[in-house]
Structure 1
Amino acid sequence: MSDVAQSRYPPRRAAGRGPGWYRGDLHVHSLLSQGADLTPAHLAAAARTLGLDFIATTEHNTAAGHAEWGPYADDDLLVILGQEVTTRTGHWLALGLAPEQAIEWRYGVRDEVIGQHLDQVRRSGGLCVAAHPHAPYLSGTLMYPYDWFDAVEVWNGRWASDLPWNADNEAALAEWGRSLASDIRQGQWLPVVGNSDAHLAGQLGTPHTVVHAEELSCDAVLAGVRAGRSWIAESAAVTLDVTATAANRSGGVGEHLVTDGEPIAVRVQVCGVPSGTITLHTEHGVVHRHSLPDDGTGVTQWRTSADETSFVRVEVRHPDRQMAALSNPIILS
């Protein structure tokens, strides 16, 4: 590819951005997708205004827009090339594609061909995400097993009407949570993400995924998602920090804390959720609740052990039960 052609595409790495937590929306549409009326310029400007560090362009069944994004990416905004693959029996996100790489979409679960297309994405270093698995429209409901993918989008903002969290998201989260303990025991648990699925103005970033990455690059962000080093935020106003500590060792979201039988202290700090509620979840369900004050900032701690549970994860909700943040688990053993 010539230098001129290469410059049309966004770089795969933002210079000068080392290890840290990065906010981004991995499911975004422009004019090239049915029902969308946003341009790349609009989306890039909105992402910067919202404080996002990365977005993924995921047009329906085409890579034709990849070459439009080069001028809008810079060291303050990473643009990941992707595609929403809208099969007849569910949609999925192909993230981290090469420029102009398109993924076949004309099949359903009975055709038994999705595996070869998932493998195509993975061979190129990409990530496969089950999208809005309980979306309420024809072909939107996912009929493929969650565990065929690398992550699952349990929080999708587009289909929640005027609210960022609805019954379809609740169902996707419950389906994931029901098998989490078994999946962890088998060493193959699936991380969750949340995205806006933005088609219209005002939708971007609600919600978005906060990822710990070694740098702001396509490969590092996707590695963070793949490892579960991420949590989901309703907006940039919400912050969440979860740490489990035993003796002189500690682990965060998506990490594995190995103990020698010592007690484990789980500490959760939240900002930006006025009068909200923090809940801690394990294989036994909800094991701890903490009410946040009117200013939305608070800390809670809970003690457990690896004998009592193999994981702990966190949800933060508003007084009306709308989700404000949720985390992937910390694995305990």
Structure 2
Amino acid sequence: MPVSNFPPLRAVGRGRGWYRGDCHVHSVYSDGELTPEQLVAGARAAGLDFIATTEHNTAEAHGAWAPHVGPDLLVVLGEEVTTETGHWLALGIGPGQVVDWEYRVQDGQIDRYLGEVHGVGGLCAAAHPHAPYPSGDFMYPYQGFDVVEVWNGLWSSDRPWNADNEAALADWGRGLTADMRAGRWRPMMGNSDTHLEGQIGIPHTVVFAEELSTPAILAGIRAGRSWTAGSATVDLSLTATAGGRSAEVGEHLETSGEQVAVRAHVRGVRSAAVSFHTDRGRVHCASLPDHGAGVAEWLTTAEESAFVRIEVRHAQGHMAALTNPIILT
């Protein structure tokens, strides 16, 4: 198939900024019910800037997106690699590239296929680690994967947060400290796993990138410069400040031993509870006003906290947004 039939790697005229995207989307080319044209329309209506095409074990859809995209929407080529002992997302693979899926954890083959994706500049994400069906439980070690999908919206689109997501979040949160001590922490992400109408973007990942392009978006995700939102109506910023220096999600803050002021600005969540989490677990919680916008603050030091991240939950307890950490040194 000619390269011109594949979606472009870059959306023209979209520079440095925060971009919203859904990196786990299925169409009629595997087990979804919507066409690429319908999915693109849904992505635009949901306020997304990019999506990833991730059909199960096929690249057949890669050439179907070009007629439907433009400067307002980027499509990242990918695949959901559906093995016998867990699913994973290969994002940013080449046009028509298919990653093998016919193996399981005891075969010892996973590093080979992760290497194939990394070899073309792609990103590997452990998908829905506690999905409640055969092969859905993720049995591979996270080592070698770039990111973990802790929030998957497929199983409850009316309230896309459930016990499986809670378990995935807990696993990831517990692993952050050990990963940082080893010198390489692994970011989280959230995606809709769209199969049906009305699912796209619930949830999605908000990424800081140098431009709206596949390499830049993947670089932002890989670096943890991202947070996850339940919908485009939710917005937030998280900053940590010490001695006149500041850092945002995914960045390092050199504190020089000074006190750190952590501030979360949240919009679009009525009566939200904002919790602050460090290597000591949940350390502080604040309530936001009924009108859906507010600021939560907390003070710490690098000696007390190796990192800080936040979770924003609705009054009923289900997730509205969560962030990757800011690293304190």
> TM-score, with normalisation over the residues of structure 2?
0.99
Describe the SS at the equivalent of 1:288. Answer: strand
Name the aligned partner's letter for residue 17 of structure 1.
R
> Per-residue deviation at 1:146?
1.9
Q: 1:219 aligns with which of 200, 215, 221?
A: 215
The 2-side partners of 1:330 and 1:162 are apart by 31
The alpha-carbon deviation at position 181 of structure 1 amounts to: 1.3
Spell out, residue by residue over 1:131-159, the C-alpha distance to the aligned partner (whole angstroms, 9 max, x if none).
Answer: 00000000011000122310000000002
**Which whole-Å CA distance do the structure 1 matches of 2:328 and 2:176 have between them?**
13
Equivalent residue of 1:308, what SS? coil
Residue matched to 1:300: 296
Partner secondary structure for residue 155 of structure 2: helix
Please name the residue that 2:29 is paired with.
32
How many Å apart are 1:6 and its aligned residue?
Answer: 2.1
CA displacement 1:51-88 (0-9 Å, x = unmatched): 10000000000001100011112110000000000000
Is residue 18 of structure 1 aligned with residue 15 of structure 2? yes
Structure 1 residue 64 and structure 2 residue 60: aligned? Answer: yes
Q: Which residue of 2 aligns with 1:126?
A: 122
Alpha-carbon distance, 1:286 to partner: 1.4
The reply on whether 1:287 has 2:273 as its aligned counterpart is no
Superposition map of 1:262-277 within 5 A? 262-277=258-273
State the distance in 2 between where 1:150 and 1:180 align: 13
Deviation of 1:162 after TM superposition, in Å, equals 3.4
Aligned-partner SS, 1:110: helix
CA deviations over 1:213-265 (Å, ceiling 9, x no partner): 00000000000000000000000000010000111211100001112111111
- In 1: Cα distance, 2:83 partner to 2:317 partner: 33
Q: 1:89 maps to which residue?
A: 85
Aligned to 2:153: 157
Using the alignment, how far apart are the partners of 1:71 and 1:15 within structure 2? 16
Which residue does 1:193 correspond to in 2? Answer: 189
1:327 matched to 2:329? The reply is no
Structure 1 residue corresponding to 2:163, chosen from 167, 171, 182? 167
User: Are 2:41 and 1:45 equivalent residues in the alignment?
Assistant: yes
Find the counterpart in structure 1 of residue 237 from structure 2.
241
In the alignment, is the contact (CA less than 8 A) between 2:288 and 2:296 conserved in 1? no
CA contact (8 A) 2:305 2:328 kept: yes
Deviation of the 1:32 alpha carbon: 1.4
CA distance in 2, matches of 1:224, 1:251: 15
For residues 159 and 50 of structure 1, the distance between their equivalents in structure 2, rounded to whole angstroms, comes to 19
Aligned residue pair count: 329
Deviation at 1:272, TM superposition (A): 0.6
Q: Secondary structure at the match of 1:179?
A: helix
Q: What residue ranges of structure 1 are gaps of 5+ in the alignment?
A: none
| Alignment-mate amino acid for residue 77 of structure 1 | L
Please state whether the residue corresponding to 1:189 is helix, strand or coil.
coil
Q: Percent same amino acid among aligned pairs?
A: 63
Give distance in 1, aligned partners of 2:308 and 2:289: 23
Equivalent residue for 2:69, pick from 66, 69, 73: 73
Stretches of structure 2 that go unaligned for 5 or more consecutive residues are: none
- Per-residue deviation at 1:160? 2.9
**2:113 pairs with one of 117, 132, 135:** 117
Which stretch has the larger CA shift, 138-147 or 205-214?
Answer: 138-147
Partner of 1:178: 174
SS in 2 for 1:158: coil
The secondary structure found in structure 2 opposite 1:22 is strand
| 2:306 maps to 1:310 | yes
How far 1:161 sits from its partner (Å)? Answer: 5.6
In the TM superposition, structure 1's runs of 4+ consecutive aligned residues that sit over 3 Å from their partners are: none
SS at 1:225 equivalent: helix
> Structure 1: which amino acid aligns with 2:207?
V
- RMSD (Å), alpha carbons: 0.9
